[in-house]
Amino acid sequence: MSGCCGWVVQLPYAALLRLGAGVGGLMRLFAGERRMIVTRNLEPCFPNLPAAERERLVRDNFASTGIAFFEMAMSWWWPKARLARLAHVEGLEHLQAAQQAGEGVILMAAHFTTLEIGAALLGQLHTIDGMYREHKNPVFDFIQRRGRERHNLDSLAVEREDVRGMLKLLRKGRAIWYAPDQDYGAKQSVFVPLFGIPAATVTATSTFARLGKARVVPFTQQRLPGAQGYRLVVHPPLEGFPGETEAEDCLRINQWVEAAIIDCPAQYSAHRRFKSRPEGEPRLYPKRKR
pLDDT (0 to 100) of residue 141:
63
- pLDDT digit string (tens) for the chain, length 290 residues: 444 456 778 899 999 999 999 999 999 999 999 999 999 999 999 999 999 999 999 999 999 999 999 999 999 889 999 999 999 999 999 999 999 999 999 999 999 999 999 999 999 999 998 876 666 766 666 666 666 666 666 777 777 778 898 999 999 999 999 999 999 999 889 999 999 999 999 999 999 999 999 999 999 999 999 999 999 999 999 999 999 999 999 999 999 999 999 999 999 999 999 999 999 999 999 887 66
pLDDT (0 to 100) of residue 57:
97
pLDDT (0 to 100) of residue 3:
47
* Rounded Cα–Cα distance for residues 233 and 118 (Å): 10
pLDDT (0 to 100) of residue 155:
77
Element (H, E) at 283: none
pLDDT (0 to 100) of residue 144:
66
Cβ-based neighbour number of residue 79 at 10 Å: 8
* Rounded Cα–Cα distance for residues 193 and 30 (Å): 32
pLDDT (0 to 100) of residue 9:
83
Buried b (16+ CB within 10 A) or exposed e, 253-278: bbebbbebbeebbbbbbbeebbbbbe
Phi first, then psi, for residue 12 (nearest 5°) are -55, 150
pLDDT (0 to 100) of residue 154:
74
* Rounded Cα–Cα distance for residues 54 and 65 (Å): 17
* DSSP3 helix / strand / coil % (the chain, rounded to 5): 50, 15, 35
* Rounded Cα–Cα distance for residues 159 and 156 (Å): 10
For the chain, the average pLDDT equals: 91
User: Strands 104-108, 129-132: parallel, antiparallel or unpaired by DSSP?
Assistant: unpaired
Q: Packing angle between helix 32-45 and helix 51-77, nearest 10 degrees?
A: 120
Separation in Å, CA 215 to CA 111, 152, 157 = 20, 22, 20
Domains of the chain, residue spans:
86-267
* Rounded Cα–Cα distance for residues 21 and 60 (Å): 8
